[in-house]
Amino acid sequence: LLVVPLLYLYLRRQEPMKQPCAHGLKVYPILGTLPHLLKNQDRFLEWYTGVMQSSPTHTLVFKVSGLAGEAITADPANVEHILRANFGNYPKGELTVSMFEDFLGHGIFNSDGEQWLWQRKAASYEFNKRSLRNFVVDVVRFEVVDRLVPLLERAARDAQTLDLQDVLERFAFDNICRVAFGQDPACLAVAEEGMAAHQSAAEFMAAFTVAQDTIVARVLSPTKWMWRVKRLLDMEPERRMRSALANIHRYSEQIVRDRREAGRARRDDLLSRFAAAGEHSDESLRDPDVEAKIMREIRASGQGTANFSLDELRQMHYLHAAITESMRLYPPVAADVHSCKEDDVLPDGTFIAKGWLMTYCAFAMARLESIWGEDCEEFRPERWLDGEGVFRPASPFKYPVFHAGPRMCLGKEMAYIQMKYIVACVLERFSLRYVAGKGHPKLVMSMTLRMRGGLPMQVKNKGG
């Protein structure tokens, strides 16, 4: 009976002198905030969004005695502090890198210091080429005209319900392979043309989803080392992860061999690009008034028939605003994790100890009245337009959908080009209706935000 109180007193002595405050959460002896985490482990996003909305600082601190703490914030000032003002103190860090390492290696998404800086400079050079941007338009035009549009036409003709999430994930996979590696896995063509299935590519995509889900399970676990125990004992989900990684590495190494570029660093970079491909490719619009305004903008371009140029896409300000608003409410990366290198105090006064994880949550930020006003939970593209109908961006620290600071996403413009091309071409020809009941689809917390059960849509051809 003496062991528990003695353990408690010992662990209390190991805590930082500055005790964090967990606003709105009861802190239990020894267990700290662990009971809250366990109770809400299947609805993390919704839960801590609600708690941050009620917190005066919009910041949460989770602590279990004897374990490293973690803070989650939705305060733009804190986000700027982490991503720019005190950038050097918030790297990915050894703990975060170790949880992602067997999946992404040390690619640009999972590296720090000189290694990250070298990869960043190399990628920046490629992304700034106009020739690459024009090539992206050509690739997305092919994928839309020759694959996506025929697939939707077939679904409309046969009154077939499509899982649009799955369709756009396959679209994104084909697209990144063609743009970045000169490969065409034709995942979207499989369902469309009745081709012999590209089994290796299909297996890779399934394995990639398993790996992303497993990584998130590692990150969300209160004990960040537990995944290592599960891997050692071959327990789920680490058992599935082992099989998924074998498939992922086999497929990616084949691409490397085909390009005659050997070496681990190249494979890591390749996997980072696959991870990036899914971040900004499957956002959807379903508001009829918004659709009507987008259609007027498309018709005003004078093109149609999927023949949009790069400059014409850039002039579609309302479509740009609609996509931006969609990603505000449903950011592809709902939350991003960093590590704290040295003791620090955030602008809101929250103490962050050395070794803690520091997360900002873009999903919660979109739902704060203090940031976006009383209509923060409404889908309203007009909030991004000035009086002349010209798109006006917000501070990236208020809208960190493409990250911010030195790690700002290099592929932002290309992501917009692809999304605008897809939406313009699809809405020009088809009407889409969500057929899985009322309300919004349930969300799945993964490396990129996904919908549980997919996005089943009924497709109708506007031409008849």
Binding-site residues for heme sit at: 409
- Are 214 and 241 in contact, with CB atoms under 8 Å apart? yes
Six-digit token pair at 261?
Answer: 């570029």
**Nearest in space to 204 (alpha carbons), one of 179, 176, 225:** 176
Task: Summarize the annotated binding site as residue ranges.
Answer: 409
CA pair distance 380, 157, nearest whole angstrom: 33
Burial class of 341 by CB neighbour count within 10 A (0 to 12, 13 to 18, 19+): middle
CA 432 to chain centre: 24
- Are 84 and 75 in contact, with CB atoms under 8 Å apart? no
CA pair distance 302, 300, nearest whole angstrom: 5
CA pair distance 364, 313, nearest whole angstrom: 30
In this structure, which amino acid lies at residue 132? L
CA pair distance 308, 334, nearest whole angstrom: 31
Six-digit token pair at 118?
Answer: 């070298």
In eight-state DSSP terms, residue 81 is: I
The DSSP bridge partners found for residue 451 are: 443
Six-digit token pair at 397?
Answer: 């620290």
**Cis omega (within 30 of 0) for bond into 237:** yes
